[in-house]
Amino acid sequence: MTKKAEDLNSLIKRFVKEIYASETPASIRILKEHNPEFLKKWLELRNIARYKGSLPLKTRHLIWLTAQALRMNRRACVVHIKGALEAGASRDEIVETSLILYVTAGGTIGDLVLDALKEVKAQS
């Protein structure tokens, strides 16, 4: 296996562990087979946005939570609520994020975050 493939495999492993816990989604498997260079660049860009920069990790997760709520992606909301809590966000900050979404994007979006927060609480 080449160094490039090892790097890509490492990136995929980290992504799957963070987001999916175990099984690699079909989209990642297909990209790896048909366009590994694109997949590698996408994962590298994602890691830059997720881990580097001036914003604290807690704030990054709250922003990602908001973006994922607007996409109606509950699973990703759960991931970013866990990440925000692990990075030092309080439950009140998650609820406040939900309230901001109620005002700016509507009740359905705000409810999605609160439901995801309940799921996280139930898992702990």
Give the number of domains in the chain: 2
**Residue 103: CATH number of its domain:** 1.20.1290.10
Same domain (yes/no): 42, 84: no
Quote the pLDDT of residue 53.
86
Q: What is the mean pLDDT of each run of 10 residues along the chain (124 residues)?
A: 62 79 82 93 87 90 96 93 95 97 94 96 90
Cβ-contact 69, 101 below 8 angstroms: yes
Same domain (yes/no): 38, 63: no
pTM of the model: 0.79
Quote the pLDDT of residue 21.
67
Same domain (yes/no): 89, 31: no
Same domain (yes/no): 46, 63: no
Pick the closest to residue 81 from 104, 113, 123, 46 (CA basis): 113
Cα(110)–Cα(54) distance, rounded to whole angstroms? 27
Same domain (yes/no): 28, 83: no
What domain range is 14 assigned to?
A: 3-51
